[in-house]
């Protein structure tokens, strides 16, 4: 066994002890957990026809005002990618963890539904969901599915449907750059992070605030935090651990070592 494997094994063994003891676990996830389901992360360069766009410029109110059809087309394409994807071993392991005696809350920055499709029942979406659009003008959520079309292709512009009440343009119900998080979800996420004894932070770059406060809040309140990410996590504090591997590789191993 080489040095990397030994390090990974030791990291997993230490994390398994913490997971074995934990009574209230928060699983905080980012785009990396869905990477092995084939959904590109935010900070991976885009490929194909979307390659000339940057999500950080497409996902803003300004981009929608300037070219709503481009943003709606991008959103439909992302919905299609998610619909074609399946939960991976990490999503499934987290769902299984939720069936044990521990309290398990998933706090996700992801707008896909792979945690729910894997079977997790308590999922807080900090950045909204691909499945719930709303009116750009009056914020009303459509009451029927007529907005839900199959038209989606890479790089294709699609005019957004209109709001049934005010005839404004429908926009994706996700949190764009510069927008506030949904306040109920945020309050509940903070309270849960404060009360957990272990937080697993999986597949997130930790660059986007305020979501990136969640692991810090857990640490401040005495919980341990374990980061699972193939990229190195720097500046670990007290009670903070890192496992350098992918979510789909590490989560089943961690659960099995912890006897889940």
Residue 95 in contact with residue 120, Cβ under 8 Å? yes
Q: Which of 115, 125, 127, 227 is catalytic?
A: 127
Q: Provide the 8-state DSSP code for 173.
A: S
> Cβ atoms within 10 A of the Cβ of 21, count?
12
Residue 102 or 227 having the CB closest to ligand APR: 227
Report the interface residues with ligand APR, using CB under 6 A.
Answer: 30-32, 35-36, 41-43, 55, 109, 127, 203-205, 207-208, 228-231, 246-247
Residue 76 or 211 having the CB closest to ligand APR: 211
- We find the least distance from the C-beta atom of residue 186 to ligand APR, in angstroms, to be 13
> Residue 127 catalytic?
yes
Residue 219 in contact with residue 128, Cβ under 8 Å? no
Residue 250 in contact with residue 243, Cβ under 8 Å? yes
Tell me the residue number closest to ligand APR, measured at CB.
Answer: 32
Q: What are phi and psi of 199, to 5 degrees?
A: -125, 125
Phi-psi region of 39 (alpha: psi -120 to 50; beta: other; left: phi over 0): beta
Distances in Å between the alpha carbon of 24 and those of 111, 172, 212?
24, 33, 20
Pairing verdict, β 198-202 and 240-243: unpaired
Residue 169 or 227 having the CB closest to ligand APR: 227
Residue 163 or 217 having the CB closest to ligand APR: 217
Query: Catalytic residue positions?
Result: 127
């Amino acid at each position: 066994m080489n040095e990397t494997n030994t390090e990974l094994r030791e990291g997993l063994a230490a994390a398994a002890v913490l997971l074995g003891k934990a009574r209230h676990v928060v699983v905080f996830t980012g785009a990396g957990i869905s990477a092995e389901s084939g959904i590109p992360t935010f900070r991976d360069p885009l490929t194909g026809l979307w390659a000339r766009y940057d999500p950080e410029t497409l996902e803003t109110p300004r981009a929608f005002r300037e070219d709503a059809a481009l943003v709606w087309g991008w959103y439909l394409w992302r919905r299609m990618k998610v619909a074609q994807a399946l939960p991976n071993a990490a999503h499934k392991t987290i769902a299984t963890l939720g069936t044990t005696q521990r309290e398990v809350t998933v706090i996700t920055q992801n707008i896909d539904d792979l945690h729910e499709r894997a079977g997790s029942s308590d999922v807080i979406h900090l950045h909204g969901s691909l499945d719930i659009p709303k009116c750009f003008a009056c914020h009303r959520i459509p009451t029927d599915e007529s907005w839900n079309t199959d038209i989606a292709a890479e790089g294709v512009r699609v005019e957004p449907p209109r709001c049934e009440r005010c005839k404004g343009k429908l926009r994706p119900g996700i949190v764009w750059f510069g927008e506030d998080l949904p306040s109920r979800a945020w309050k509940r996420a903070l309270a849960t992070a404060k009360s957990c004894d272990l937080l697993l932070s999986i597949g997130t770059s930790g660059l986007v605030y305020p979501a990136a406060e969640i692991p810090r809040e857990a640490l401040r309140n005495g919980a341990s935090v374990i980061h699972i990410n193939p990229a190195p996590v720097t500046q670990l504090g007290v009670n903070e651990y890192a496992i350098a591997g992918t979510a789909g590789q590490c989560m089943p191993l961690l659960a099995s070592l912890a006897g889940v």
